[in-house]
Protein backbone atom coordinates (compact mmCIF):
# COMPACT_ATOMS: atom_id res chain seq x y z
CA UNK A 1 0.00 0.00 0.00
CA UNK A 2 2.96 2.26 -0.70
CA UNK A 3 2.39 4.97 -3.30
CA UNK A 4 -1.35 5.54 -3.11
CA UNK A 5 -2.71 9.08 -3.18
CA UNK A 6 -5.42 7.82 -0.82
CA UNK A 7 -5.03 7.69 2.94
CA UNK A 8 -4.19 4.12 3.96
CA UNK A 9 -6.39 3.40 6.96
CA UNK A 10 -6.00 0.16 8.89
CA UNK A 11 -8.73 -0.95 11.31
CA UNK A 12 -8.20 -3.60 14.00
CA UNK A 13 -11.35 -5.02 15.55
CA UNK A 14 -13.26 -4.11 12.40
CA UNK A 15 -16.01 -6.65 12.98
CA UNK A 16 -17.17 -5.17 16.29
CA UNK A 17 -19.88 -2.59 16.90
CA UNK A 18 -17.59 0.47 16.68
CA UNK A 19 -15.32 -1.06 14.05
CA UNK A 20 -18.17 -1.80 11.67
CA UNK A 21 -19.50 1.76 11.99
CA UNK A 22 -16.05 3.06 11.06
CA UNK A 23 -15.49 0.60 8.22
CA UNK A 24 -18.87 1.52 6.71
CA UNK A 25 -18.11 5.25 6.74
CA UNK A 26 -14.62 4.79 5.30
CA UNK A 27 -15.88 2.49 2.54
CA UNK A 28 -18.48 5.13 1.67
CA UNK A 29 -15.58 7.39 0.69
CA UNK A 30 -13.13 5.22 -1.22
CA UNK A 31 -11.90 8.18 -3.24
CA UNK A 32 -10.29 9.36 -0.01
CA UNK A 33 -9.52 6.15 1.88
CA UNK A 34 -7.91 2.84 1.16
CA UNK A 35 -9.53 0.69 3.81
CA UNK A 36 -7.65 -2.24 5.31
CA UNK A 37 -9.22 -4.50 7.94
CA UNK A 38 -6.96 -6.66 10.07
CA UNK A 39 -8.34 -10.07 10.95
CA UNK A 40 -6.92 -12.94 12.94
CA UNK A 41 -6.21 -15.90 10.65
CA UNK A 42 -9.03 -17.90 12.24
CA UNK A 43 -11.51 -15.04 11.67
CA UNK A 44 -10.54 -13.80 8.20
CA UNK A 45 -12.88 -16.25 6.48
CA UNK A 46 -15.96 -15.06 8.37
CA UNK A 47 -18.90 -13.57 6.50
CA UNK A 48 -18.36 -10.15 8.09
CA UNK A 49 -14.90 -9.87 6.52
CA UNK A 50 -16.12 -11.30 3.18
CA UNK A 51 -18.76 -8.58 3.13
CA UNK A 52 -16.15 -5.89 3.81
CA UNK A 53 -13.94 -7.27 1.03
CA UNK A 54 -16.79 -7.28 -1.45
CA UNK A 55 -17.47 -3.63 -0.56
CA UNK A 56 -13.90 -2.62 -1.32
CA UNK A 57 -11.86 -3.27 1.82
CA UNK A 58 -8.57 -5.13 1.83
CA UNK A 59 -8.52 -7.90 4.43
CA UNK A 60 -5.13 -8.69 5.91
CA UNK A 61 -4.57 -11.50 8.34
CA UNK A 62 -2.57 -10.47 11.37
CA UNK A 63 -0.99 -12.09 14.38
CA UNK A 64 -1.71 -9.63 17.16
CA UNK A 65 0.96 -11.15 19.35
CA UNK A 66 3.96 -10.79 17.01
CA UNK A 67 5.28 -7.23 16.84
CA UNK A 68 7.60 -7.71 13.87
CA UNK A 69 5.06 -9.46 11.67
CA UNK A 70 2.35 -7.00 12.64
CA UNK A 71 4.64 -4.03 11.90
CA UNK A 72 5.15 -5.45 8.40
CA UNK A 73 1.38 -5.58 7.91
CA UNK A 74 1.17 -1.93 8.99
CA UNK A 75 3.96 -0.69 6.70
CA UNK A 76 2.68 2.29 4.71
CA UNK A 77 -0.33 2.87 6.93
CA UNK A 78 -1.19 6.53 7.41
CA UNK A 79 -3.74 5.82 10.12
CA UNK A 80 -4.23 2.78 12.36
CA UNK A 81 -7.51 2.55 14.27
CA UNK A 82 -7.85 0.17 17.20
CA UNK A 83 -11.30 -1.09 18.08
CA UNK A 84 -9.92 -3.93 20.15
CA UNK A 85 -11.58 -4.60 23.48
CA UNK A 86 -9.87 -3.63 26.75
CA UNK A 87 -9.68 -7.31 27.61
CA UNK A 88 -7.45 -7.81 24.55
CA UNK A 89 -4.56 -6.24 26.41
CA UNK A 90 -1.58 -8.02 24.93
CA UNK A 91 -3.01 -7.59 21.43
CA UNK A 92 -3.57 -3.89 22.06
CA UNK A 93 -0.03 -3.39 23.34
CA UNK A 94 1.42 -5.30 20.41
CA UNK A 95 -0.57 -3.17 17.99
CA UNK A 96 0.82 0.04 19.54
CA UNK A 97 4.39 -1.23 19.43
CA UNK A 98 3.94 -2.38 15.83
CA UNK A 99 2.39 0.95 14.80
CA UNK A 100 5.39 2.72 16.32
CA UNK A 101 7.82 0.39 14.57
CA UNK A 102 6.01 0.89 11.25
CA UNK A 103 6.12 4.66 11.67
CA UNK A 104 2.40 5.17 11.14
CA UNK A 105 1.22 8.76 10.98
CA UNK A 106 -1.63 8.53 13.46
CA UNK A 107 -2.88 5.90 15.86
CA UNK A 108 -6.37 5.84 17.36
CA UNK A 109 -6.28 3.79 20.57
CA UNK A 110 -9.48 2.03 21.56
CA UNK A 111 -11.50 4.52 23.62
CA UNK A 112 -14.92 5.04 21.91
CA UNK A 113 -16.83 5.51 25.13
CA UNK A 114 -18.15 8.09 27.58
CA UNK A 115 -15.94 10.85 28.92
CA UNK A 116 -14.62 10.51 32.46
CA UNK A 117 -11.47 11.42 34.41
CA UNK A 118 -8.52 9.20 33.56
CA UNK A 119 -8.13 7.30 36.82
CA UNK A 120 -10.11 6.40 39.91
CA UNK A 121 -13.55 6.24 38.32
CA UNK A 122 -13.54 2.86 36.61
CA UNK A 123 -11.07 0.09 35.94
CA UNK A 124 -11.87 -0.28 32.23
CA UNK A 125 -10.98 3.36 31.68
CA UNK A 126 -7.63 2.88 33.37
CA UNK A 127 -6.75 0.07 30.97
CA UNK A 128 -7.40 2.45 28.09
CA UNK A 129 -5.34 5.19 29.75
CA UNK A 130 -2.46 2.78 30.26
CA UNK A 131 -2.53 2.06 26.53
CA UNK A 132 -2.54 5.79 25.76
CA UNK A 133 0.42 6.21 28.10
CA UNK A 134 2.20 3.48 26.12
CA UNK A 135 1.64 5.55 22.95
CA UNK A 136 3.01 8.63 24.70
CA UNK A 137 6.16 6.86 25.88
CA UNK A 138 6.83 6.07 22.21
CA UNK A 139 5.78 9.53 20.98
CA UNK A 140 3.41 7.71 18.66
CA UNK A 141 1.15 10.32 17.00
CA UNK A 142 -2.34 9.63 18.33
CA UNK A 143 -5.93 10.78 18.49
CA UNK A 144 -8.29 9.66 21.24
CA UNK A 145 -11.97 9.61 20.27
CA UNK A 146 -14.69 9.29 22.88
CA UNK A 147 -18.31 9.26 21.75
CA UNK A 148 -20.44 9.15 24.89
CA UNK A 149 -23.03 6.38 25.20
CA UNK A 150 -24.76 4.84 22.20
CA UNK A 151 -28.43 5.56 21.60
CA UNK A 152 -28.59 1.80 21.05
CA UNK A 153 -28.01 1.06 24.75
CA UNK A 154 -30.00 3.96 26.21
CA UNK A 155 -33.61 2.98 25.50
CA UNK A 156 -35.97 1.20 27.90
CA UNK A 157 -37.21 -2.34 27.20
CA UNK A 158 -38.39 -3.71 24.82
CA UNK A 159 -35.95 -1.55 22.84
CA UNK A 160 -32.97 -2.36 25.03
CA UNK A 161 -30.09 -4.81 24.52
CA UNK A 162 -29.87 -7.84 26.83
CA UNK A 163 -28.53 -7.41 30.40
CA UNK A 164 -26.15 -6.32 31.80
CA UNK A 165 -25.91 -3.73 29.03
CA UNK A 166 -29.64 -2.87 29.24
CA UNK A 167 -29.99 0.52 30.85
CA UNK A 168 -31.85 1.36 34.06
CA UNK A 169 -33.47 4.67 34.98
CA UNK A 170 -31.29 6.40 37.56
CA UNK A 171 -32.55 8.81 40.22
CA UNK A 172 -34.76 11.53 38.76
CA UNK A 173 -33.48 10.77 35.26
CA UNK A 174 -32.43 14.36 34.73
CA UNK A 175 -28.64 13.92 34.53
CA UNK A 176 -27.32 15.38 31.27
CA UNK A 177 -25.24 12.93 29.27
CA UNK A 178 -23.82 12.92 25.75
CA UNK A 179 -25.04 10.15 23.49
CA UNK A 180 -24.74 9.17 19.84
CA UNK A 181 -26.22 6.89 17.21
CA UNK A 182 -23.56 4.20 16.84
CA UNK A 183 -23.84 4.65 13.07
CA UNK A 184 -22.62 8.27 13.41
CA UNK A 185 -19.26 7.25 14.90
CA UNK A 186 -17.86 6.34 11.47
CA UNK A 187 -18.67 9.69 9.80
CA UNK A 188 -17.02 11.50 12.73
CA UNK A 189 -13.92 9.33 12.42
CA UNK A 190 -13.67 10.02 8.68
CA UNK A 191 -13.44 13.73 9.55
CA UNK A 192 -11.16 13.37 12.54
CA UNK A 193 -8.45 11.31 10.83
CA UNK A 194 -8.10 13.87 8.03
CA UNK A 195 -7.93 16.84 10.42
CA UNK A 196 -4.54 18.13 11.60
CA UNK A 197 -6.21 19.91 14.54
CA UNK A 198 -6.96 16.58 16.16
CA UNK A 199 -3.41 15.19 16.06
CA UNK A 200 -2.17 14.28 19.55
CA UNK A 201 -5.45 15.44 21.04
CA UNK A 202 -8.65 13.89 22.37
CA UNK A 203 -11.95 14.53 20.63
CA UNK A 204 -15.45 14.24 22.09
CA UNK A 205 -17.59 13.16 19.13
CA UNK A 206 -21.17 12.96 20.37
CA UNK A 207 -24.63 13.20 18.85
CA UNK A 208 -26.50 15.23 21.42
CA UNK A 209 -26.67 15.89 25.14
CA UNK A 210 -29.87 14.63 26.69
CA UNK A 211 -31.36 13.01 29.80
CA UNK A 212 -33.07 9.72 30.53
CA UNK A 213 -36.30 11.62 31.23
CA UNK A 214 -36.15 13.09 27.73
CA UNK A 215 -35.46 9.70 26.16
CA UNK A 216 -38.37 8.17 28.07
CA UNK A 217 -40.65 11.00 26.99
CA UNK A 218 -39.62 10.46 23.36
CA UNK A 219 -40.35 6.73 23.58
CA UNK A 220 -43.72 7.36 25.21
CA UNK A 221 -44.58 9.98 22.59
CA UNK A 222 -43.63 7.60 19.76
CA UNK A 223 -45.50 4.62 21.20
CA UNK A 224 -48.43 6.58 22.58
CA UNK A 225 -48.32 4.76 25.89
CA UNK A 226 -46.62 4.68 29.28
CA UNK A 227 -43.34 2.76 29.12
CA UNK A 228 -42.14 1.09 32.34
CA UNK A 229 -38.42 1.36 33.09
CA UNK A 230 -36.62 -0.33 35.95
CA UNK A 231 -35.22 2.37 38.17
CA UNK A 232 -32.54 2.65 40.80
CA UNK A 233 -31.58 5.50 43.11
CA UNK A 234 -28.12 7.02 43.16
CA UNK A 235 -27.59 5.57 46.65
CA UNK A 236 -28.66 2.09 45.52
CA UNK A 237 -26.37 2.34 42.52
CA UNK A 238 -23.46 3.38 44.71
CA UNK A 239 -24.12 0.44 47.05
CA UNK A 240 -24.29 -1.94 44.08
CA UNK A 241 -20.94 -0.68 42.75
CA UNK A 242 -19.38 -1.20 46.18
CA UNK A 243 -20.83 -4.69 46.44
CA UNK A 244 -19.64 -5.68 42.97
CA UNK A 245 -16.20 -4.25 43.70
CA UNK A 246 -15.95 -6.30 46.85
CA UNK A 247 -17.09 -9.47 45.03
CA UNK A 248 -14.72 -8.77 42.12
CA UNK A 249 -11.82 -8.36 44.56
CA UNK A 250 -12.50 -11.90 45.79
CA UNK A 251 -12.95 -13.39 42.33
CA UNK A 252 -11.07 -11.25 39.80
CA UNK A 253 -11.54 -13.84 37.04
CA UNK A 254 -15.34 -13.79 37.00
CA UNK A 255 -15.86 -12.00 33.68
CA UNK A 256 -19.64 -11.77 34.12
CA UNK A 257 -19.17 -10.06 37.46
CA UNK A 258 -16.62 -7.66 36.00
CA UNK A 259 -19.06 -6.73 33.24
CA UNK A 260 -21.80 -6.08 35.79
CA UNK A 261 -19.40 -3.91 37.75
CA UNK A 262 -18.33 -2.04 34.64
CA UNK A 263 -21.92 -1.34 33.59
CA UNK A 264 -22.78 0.01 37.02
CA UNK A 265 -19.62 2.13 37.09
CA UNK A 266 -20.57 3.55 33.69
CA UNK A 267 -24.02 4.40 35.06
CA UNK A 268 -22.60 5.95 38.21
CA UNK A 269 -20.08 8.01 36.22
CA UNK A 270 -22.59 9.52 33.85
CA UNK A 271 -25.69 9.80 36.06
CA UNK A 272 -24.24 10.61 39.49
CA UNK A 273 -20.76 12.04 38.85
CA UNK A 274 -22.05 13.69 35.64
CA UNK A 275 -18.74 12.97 33.90
CA UNK A 276 -20.06 12.45 30.38
CA UNK A 277 -20.80 16.04 29.38
CA UNK A 278 -19.17 18.48 26.93
CA UNK A 279 -18.29 20.78 29.85
CA UNK A 280 -16.36 18.09 31.70
CA UNK A 281 -14.82 16.94 28.43
CA UNK A 282 -13.51 20.46 27.92
CA UNK A 283 -12.02 20.48 31.42
CA UNK A 284 -10.38 17.13 30.64
CA UNK A 285 -8.74 18.56 27.53
CA UNK A 286 -11.01 17.22 24.78
CA UNK A 287 -11.74 19.10 21.60
CA UNK A 288 -15.51 19.34 21.04
CA UNK A 289 -16.72 17.49 17.94
CA UNK A 290 -19.63 19.90 17.50
CA UNK A 291 -17.25 22.87 17.39
CA UNK A 292 -14.83 21.08 15.04
CA UNK A 293 -17.50 19.92 12.57
CA UNK A 294 -20.58 22.14 12.85
CA UNK A 295 -21.83 20.83 9.47
CA UNK A 296 -21.70 17.16 10.46
CA UNK A 297 -25.27 16.11 11.08
CA UNK A 298 -25.89 13.43 13.67
CA UNK A 299 -29.14 11.57 14.06
CA UNK A 300 -31.31 13.06 16.80
CA UNK A 301 -32.65 11.02 19.70
CA UNK A 302 -36.16 11.85 18.48
CA UNK A 303 -35.56 10.50 14.99
CA UNK A 304 -33.73 7.46 16.31
CA UNK A 305 -36.62 6.62 18.65
CA UNK A 306 -39.10 7.11 15.81
CA UNK A 307 -37.20 4.71 13.56
CA UNK A 308 -36.87 2.11 16.27
CA UNK A 309 -40.47 2.25 17.47
CA UNK A 310 -41.80 2.17 13.91
CA UNK A 311 -39.65 -0.89 13.18
CA UNK A 312 -37.80 0.90 10.37
CA UNK A 313 -34.50 -0.26 11.78
CA UNK A 314 -33.19 -3.01 13.95
CA UNK A 315 -31.23 -0.85 16.30
CA UNK A 316 -30.23 -3.44 18.82
CA UNK A 317 -26.69 -4.48 19.46
CA UNK A 318 -25.54 -7.87 20.65
CA UNK A 319 -28.65 -9.38 19.00
CA UNK A 320 -28.39 -13.13 19.28
CA UNK A 321 -25.10 -12.64 21.08
CA UNK A 322 -24.07 -12.97 24.67
CA UNK A 323 -21.85 -10.08 25.77
CA UNK A 324 -20.31 -12.19 28.52
CA UNK A 325 -19.39 -14.90 26.03
CA UNK A 326 -18.14 -12.21 23.64
CA UNK A 327 -15.84 -10.81 26.26
CA UNK A 328 -14.69 -14.27 27.28
CA UNK A 329 -13.84 -15.45 23.79
CA UNK A 330 -11.30 -12.68 23.40
CA UNK A 331 -9.28 -14.19 26.18
CA UNK A 332 -8.50 -17.29 24.16
Which residues sit at the interface with a second copy, rule CB under 8 A?
A: 117-121, 130, 133-134, 136-137, 139, 141, 200-201, 280, 282-285
CA distance 9 to 44: 18
Query: Which residue lies nearer to a second copy by CB, 90 or 319?
Result: 90
Minimum separation from the CB atom of position 310 to a second copy (A): 40
- Report the run of H or E that residue 134 belongs to, with start and end: helix 123-137
321 neighbors 207 (Cβ within 8 angstroms): no
Closer to a second copy by CB, 78 or 181: give it: 78
Please report how close the Cβ of residue 21 comes to a second copy at its closest, in angstroms: 27
Peptide bond into 158 cis (omega under 30): yes
| DSSP H or E run through 209 | strand 208-210
User: Three-state DSSP class for 12?
Assistant: strand
How far is residue 71's CA from residue 185's CA, in Å, rounded to a whole number? 27
Q: Tell me how many helices (H) and strands (E) the chain has.
A: 13, 13
Query: Which CB sits closer to a second copy, 234 or 284?
Result: 284
Q: Cβ–Cβ contacts within 10 Å for residue 130, how many? A: 16
- In terms of CB distance, is 117 or 171 closer to a second copy? 117
Q: Give the residue with the Cβ less far from a second copy, 96 or 308.
A: 96
Nearest to 265 by CA among 121, 119, 120: 121
Shortest distance, position 84 Cβ to a second copy, whole Å:
20
In this complex, which beta carbon is closest to a second copy, that of residue 150 or of residue 286?
Answer: 286
State in angstroms the smallest separation of the CB of 227 from a second copy.
34
Cβ of residue 134: shortest distance to a second copy, in angstroms? 7
What does DSSP say about strands 169-170 and 143-146: parallel, antiparallel, or unpaired?
A: unpaired
Of the pair 137, 321, the CB lying nearest a second copy is at: 137
- Taking the C-alpha atoms of residue 154 and residue 182, their distance in angstroms, rounded to an integer, is 11
Report, in Å, the least distance between residue 55 CB and a second copy.
Answer: 36
Quote the least distance from Cβ 273 to a second copy, whole Å: 9
- Residue 285: CB atoms within 10 A of its CB come to 11
- Residues 201 and 39 sit within 8 Å (Cβ to Cβ): no
Amino acid sequence: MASSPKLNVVVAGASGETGSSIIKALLANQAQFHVIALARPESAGKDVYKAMASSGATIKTADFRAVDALAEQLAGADVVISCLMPIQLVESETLIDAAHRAGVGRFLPSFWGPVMPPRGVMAVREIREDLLDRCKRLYLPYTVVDVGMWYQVCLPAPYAPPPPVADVFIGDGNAPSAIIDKDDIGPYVARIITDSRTLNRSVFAYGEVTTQSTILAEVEAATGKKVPWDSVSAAELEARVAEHQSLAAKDPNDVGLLLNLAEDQYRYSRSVRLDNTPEHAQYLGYLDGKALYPDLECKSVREFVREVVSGERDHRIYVGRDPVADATQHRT
